[in-house]
């Protein structure tokens, strides 16, 4: 049986990259994302015994991170930050496809109502019912948001392709 510290280390090594990415797209700032991930793991350490299944760990950490983020807002009543594409650009390789860049912009332009369920689905692996529970919405509302989010991203990508062709 693995002890607590080893379970924790495994959760950090295996899941912190995805958790960081989730946090980044949630708050739009690399430093805040890093802080949030650290706070989330500190909280996770304290309640690690309540995590029974290893397979549920990612969803559990993401839920913890969302609560941690909500706390951050209630503490400081901060304005929600726009995803800062300019600083991100610096860290993206120049070999990146135009498509990826266009999608960055489109993800940034999505309102959080649409981006949030998409992130839970794509990064967190949540299904529609789980997203509904997490966001306190009906499954119908989640379905609509996911559907519109992809529609918007697709339209943005098509627009990008068209503008490339017409150049």
Partner 1 sequence: MDCLSFRRSILADPGSNDDAIVEHADGCKHCRDFRADIRRLDASIIQAIKIPVPESLPAKILLRQSNRPRRASGWRWAIAIAACCVVAIGIGLRSETAESPAQWLGAVKRYVDRSGISTDPAAQIAHRDLNEILNRIGVHMDESIGTVTAAIPCRIGNRAGAHLVITGDGGPVTVLIMPEADLPQIIEFKTAKSTGVIAPCPRGSIAIVGGATAPINSIKSKVEKAISFI
Cα 133 to Cα 19, 53, 77, 150: the distances in Å are: 19, 19, 24, 21
C-alpha 104/C-alpha 5 separation (Å) is: 36
Place of tokens 């958790």: 19
Instruction: Report the interface residues with partner 1, using CB under 8 A.
Output: 2-6, 8-10, 12-14, 16-17, 20-21, 24-25, 30, 34, 37-38, 41-42, 45, 88, 91-93, 97, 99-100, 103-104, 107, 118-119, 121-123, 127-128, 142-144, 146-147, 150-151, 153-154, 157
For residue 119, the minimal CB distance to partner 1 (Å) is: 7
Between 10 and 56, CB nearer to partner 1: 10
Tell me how far apart the alpha carbons of residues 117 and 144 are, in angstroms, rounded to a whole number.
10
96 and 88 Cβ atoms separated by less than 8 Å: no
| Residue placing its CB nearer to partner 1 in the complex, 27 or 77 | 27
How far apart (Å, rounded) are the C-alpha atoms in residues 58 and 43? Answer: 14
Q: Quote the least distance from Cβ 78 to partner 1, whole Å.
A: 21
Closer to partner 1 by Cβ: residue 4 or 74: 4
Which CB sits closer to partner 1, 46 or 76?
46
């Amino acid at each position: 049986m693995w002890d607590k510290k080893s379970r924790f280390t495994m959760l950090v090594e295996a899941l912190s990259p995805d958790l960081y990415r989730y946090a980044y797209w949630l708050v739009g700032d690399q430093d805040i994302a890093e802080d949030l991930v650290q706070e989330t793991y500190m909280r996770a350490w304290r309640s690690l015994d309540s995590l029974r299944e290893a397979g549920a760990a990612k969803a559990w950490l993401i839920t913890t991170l969302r609560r941690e983020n909500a706390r951050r807002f209630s503490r400081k009543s901060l304005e929600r930050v726009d995803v800062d594409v300019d600083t991100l650009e610096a860290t993206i390789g120049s070999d990146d496809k135009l498509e990826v860049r266009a999608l960055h912009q489109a993800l940034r332009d999505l309102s959080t109502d649409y981006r949030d369920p998409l992130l839970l689905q794509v990064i967190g692996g949540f299904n529609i019912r789980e997203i509904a529970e997490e966001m306190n919405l009906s499954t119908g509302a989640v379905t609509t948001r996911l559907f519109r989010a992809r529609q918007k991203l697709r339209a943005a990508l098509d627009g990008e392709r068209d503008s490339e062709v017409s150049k």
